[in-house]
Structure 1
């Protein structure tokens, strides 16, 4: 069994590793009531299980000297903070509750599902005011609980290397399979595409032989539709479902011909799909699902008209209106339109981001790189303890910044995809061991950097492009990890106004206060050198 005499200052990740290592020695008969369907934990869950461990640590508390009466009240108080939301009584005399991840599905109670959602940062409510959210479909703890076709399950694990569902997949898949409308928000890179493509294909397959389109998948750009098509096609082939890509610039007659040959899922941009509907080439009689990816952009000016037409056309069908699914990393003004069109029992799923414990700063700088580096050194680098991560938008920018920092006698190193594997490994190891205080890197490696106690993240270059907000979230998420606090500062220039507007919309949806100085940047009224507190 797990040794409970673990020093309470040890990192939770290490505790979870020990838990997983001891799993083979746990008496499943006593925990589950039977060995049938026992829930398997693998190492990919270590970080998520760190929160769960706060409850599990008391399973043996009754017999452990870890909590004997000789301990000081201050140590007990520290332990209670460590335990957090434990369901064990404070006198430690009641029977400890078995954690949800050691229970088979049929033994899971309402409170177990609630705790699981909390552990994975899953929040479910209704986008409509005064709407009931009773009977929320329970999330998936593992793929096997989703009744996923064997061929697809094997493809997920062997080809896509997705051994366990991500938080958005855990909750979105059961809701979609239930037939309810869904509005989902999760960061880019969280597995959103699989979370709607998989259940869409499963529902199409469940309805039997496909002759007419059963589902529409709408995305705002040709690039994104091609990407979604690339994700959907290999999955669809496993269960004999045909997908069609429809985008502007290609022959609409060719699209019509493809549809006539039979297709279950139509993937395309709003304008091209509506052209096919309006021209009578895409029949709506069997369309049961409409999914809008990047919903905030699809409901922006220029695209919303065609999206509205598709949804309203669906709602005019004699049988029943289509199930509506909206996915995005951000929602702003688009939420008003979405609330108007979804059904009364619709659900809103939100996955917690990574920046809740992060103090985020935005500072407007000029075009003189020497002045910007001077500010970086004196205001930030010399004010925070190592380790510090600085993000740039290119390899060249990383190298140039390193040279300028050297002029200030500031030690640092560069890490980007242009280096050899051995070089990257050595640099990363030196930084992790605090032999190098500052790491300058690019977005290419932002998601792979997982170092404890990062005190400061600096975006020397503000992220750009269509996924600027997603890159921002991944960057700042390098600090404030494991429940600790952190600071992130982003240098923005006048040319970054579009990014600041996107960031403002994101913070609004997150119910974070918007400083008036951010509005000044959007209105180009801020002065150089002004520091803006975001949260």
Structure 2
């Protein structure tokens, strides 16, 4: 007799699943900057901060008597030997905030190839700025500050390191080249400063930075300055800093307060004419574009219209970049067309207008580009050219940056354009392009010109046989 199908449901042999308790949403970790809040510090005389008398006199000789708040907050703690973590808006004086303690605490002269102080920065231009700021002050103490960056002679840098460098300012890639070649040894570094640490993270340098910091004595002092403590920078703090004193002078969005922000709605057909009229204004102007090709093309169009303009980007050899900046500083050119290579670390006085020819996608890029004006208490104007298809993206980015931009539709001859920016009709007399430096023979040890230790400081693999003198 066949088995009939039971009408009673079979009992499952598996146990019923237990419902997992729902986890509360994990709160994002608060950074040390957020935990301490904003440090309220007034400016103070350098003479009251504990610096050596010779250094105070050297500062006074250069017209610097009173420290900015970021300096007044961090220098006394740094002089005690504590690790210091600092944040200050662009143009707030961070270079001297870490540079003066590095100079003041040097004891004796450095041995050949063995620097005693180290400053890591993301770009060549920032390295030059730091070196130029500290060198005159170092001379008052009988010390030497030198930089090693990509795009310049490796051989000359080796000669400099062999003569002894008290404070070395370096981009991570070029310093890694010297370490691998044995032309720089980090075992005697007593104090290390990291400037613009968040930009080094954004540019992908942190693996190199960690490799270099692993070679520095663990008991040395660390001074780290950063606009933000994003994940990778936070890891640096956790791994390499011991109970740091934290000073947060201002969140990144605070820098927008001393600027006027404008959103100019333009058509694609009018955009170049609007840019040209803005660039023809009186006063120093920086136009930010996205690519190296766009920078060169825009500068060429401006010169063809009679506007003295120069292009600055990472594809240029270092001597060309230096020349472009010097012409802008001296007033030989009044408009600088730049990619993000100039968004941080370039200090040129009296830049009264910054123009985003294309809206940046990242709010940090907006803030650091904008920070080329309204530096050290001055005021300035920031203009972003926005086409109809870019309006929504700009609105989102501006909100994230804490920026409230006044919106105006403009055409080349509009009075509003002239009123906000000082735009005017260019002369129309073409200007010849600046003479280009003769290409140099690539250096062995740094790879192809502009790469091995790249324009932005990235590492290149040196060839065997050391460095060869450039032709």
TM-score between the two structures when normalised by the length of structure 2 = 0.51
CA contact (8 A) 1:463 1:472 kept: no
Following the alignment from structure 1 to structure 2, what is the Cα–Cα distance between the partners of residues 192 and 491?
Answer: 31
1:298-342 Cα offsets, whole Å, 9 max, x none, are 22344222112111222xx4xx33322222445545433333334
Q: Counterpart in 2 of 1:395?
A: 280
> Residue 299 of structure 1: SS of its match in structure 2?
helix
Aligned residue among 81, 89, 110 for 1:210: 110
CA contact (8 A) 2:143 2:166 kept: yes
- After superposition, residues 112-127 of structure 1 pair within 5 angstroms as 127=32
Following the alignment from structure 2 to structure 1, what is the Cα–Cα distance between the partners of residues 272 and 178?
Answer: 55
Aligned residue among 492, 500, 506 for 2:386: 492
- After superposition, residues 412-491 of structure 1 pair within 5 angstroms as 445=350, 469-470=367-368, 472-473=370-371, 490-491=384-385
Shift of 1:271: 0.9
2:55 is aligned with 1:152: yes
2:238 is aligned with 1:321: no
1:242-283 Cα offsets, whole Å, 9 max, x none, are 122212234434433322322211112111112222322222
User: In 2 relative to 1, CA 152–459 (structure 1 residues): closer, same or farther, beyond 3 Å?
Assistant: same
Following the alignment from structure 1 to structure 2, what is the Cα–Cα distance between the partners of residues 371 and 208?
Answer: 57
Aligned residues: 305
User: In 2 relative to 1, CA 139–341 (structure 1 residues): closer, same or farther, beyond 3 Å?
Assistant: farther
CA contact (8 A) 1:137 1:175 kept: no
Q: Which has the higher contact order (CA 8 A, sep 6+)?
A: 2
Aligned residue among 161, 167, 178 for 1:265: 167
Q: Counterpart in 2 of 1:366?
A: 267
Following the alignment from structure 2 to structure 1, what is the Cα–Cα distance between the partners of residues 214 and 143?
Answer: 26
User: In 2 relative to 1, CA 251–197 (structure 1 residues): closer, same or farther, beyond 3 Å?
Assistant: same
1:57-83 Cα offsets, whole Å, 9 max, x none, are xxxxxxxxxxxxxxxxxxxxxxxxxxx
2:104 is aligned with 1:199: no
Following the alignment from structure 2 to structure 1, what is the Cα–Cα distance between the partners of residues 118 and 99?
Answer: 11
Following the alignment from structure 1 to structure 2, what is the Cα–Cα distance between the partners of residues 128 and 220?
Answer: 21
Shift of 1:469: 2.9
User: In 2 relative to 1, CA 310–213 (structure 1 residues): closer, same or farther, beyond 3 Å?
Assistant: same
Aligned residue among 333, 346, 371 for 2:244: 346
Following the alignment from structure 2 to structure 1, what is the Cα–Cα distance between the partners of residues 143 and 389?
Answer: 46
1:457-515 Cα offsets, whole Å, 9 max, x none, are x9686789x98634525768999x9xxxxx98744359999x969967983xxxx699x
Following the alignment from structure 2 to structure 1, what is the Cα–Cα distance between the partners of residues 33 and 243?
Answer: 8
- After superposition, residues 167-316 of structure 1 pair within 5 angstroms as 167-204=69-106, 207-211=107-111, 212-314=114-216
CA contact (8 A) 2:138 2:144 kept: yes
> Residue 211 of structure 2: SS of its match in structure 1?
helix
> Residue 214 of structure 2: SS of its match in structure 1?
helix
User: In 2 relative to 1, CA 152–488 (structure 1 residues): closer, same or farther, beyond 3 Å?
Assistant: closer
1:380-407 Cα offsets, whole Å, 9 max, x none, are xxxxxxxxxxxx8623599xxxxxxxxx
Following the alignment from structure 1 to structure 2, what is the Cα–Cα distance between the partners of residues 147 and 208?
Answer: 19
Following the alignment from structure 1 to structure 2, what is the Cα–Cα distance between the partners of residues 496 and 194?
Answer: 39
User: In 2 relative to 1, CA 268–474 (structure 1 residues): closer, same or farther, beyond 3 Å?
Assistant: closer
CA contact (8 A) 2:91 2:376 kept: no
User: In 2 relative to 1, CA 364–329 (structure 1 residues): closer, same or farther, beyond 3 Å?
Assistant: farther
User: In 2 relative to 1, CA 195–360 (structure 1 residues): closer, same or farther, beyond 3 Å?
Assistant: same
1:343-389 Cα offsets, whole Å, 9 max, x none, are 2411332223344699977576532439999xxxxxxxxxxxxxxxx
- Unpaired stretches in structure 1, ≥5 consecutive residues: 1-124, 374-391, 399-415, 419-442, 450-457, 482-486, 515-535
Following the alignment from structure 1 to structure 2, what is the Cα–Cα distance between the partners of residues 312 and 504?
Answer: 39
User: In 2 relative to 1, CA 262–495 (structure 1 residues): closer, same or farther, beyond 3 Å?
Assistant: farther
Following the alignment from structure 1 to structure 2, what is the Cα–Cα distance between the partners of residues 137 and 284?
Answer: 36
- Unpaired stretches in structure 2, ≥5 consecutive residues: 1-29, 284-306, 310-347, 405-471
Following the alignment from structure 2 to structure 1, what is the Cα–Cα distance between the partners of residues 71 and 239?
Answer: 24
> Residue 156 of structure 1: SS of its match in structure 2?
helix
Which structure shows the bigger proportion of residues in helix conformation?
Answer: 1
TM-score between the two structures when normalised by the length of structure 1 = 0.46
User: In 2 relative to 1, CA 488–283 (structure 1 residues): closer, same or farther, beyond 3 Å?
Assistant: closer
RMSD over aligned Cα atoms: 5.1
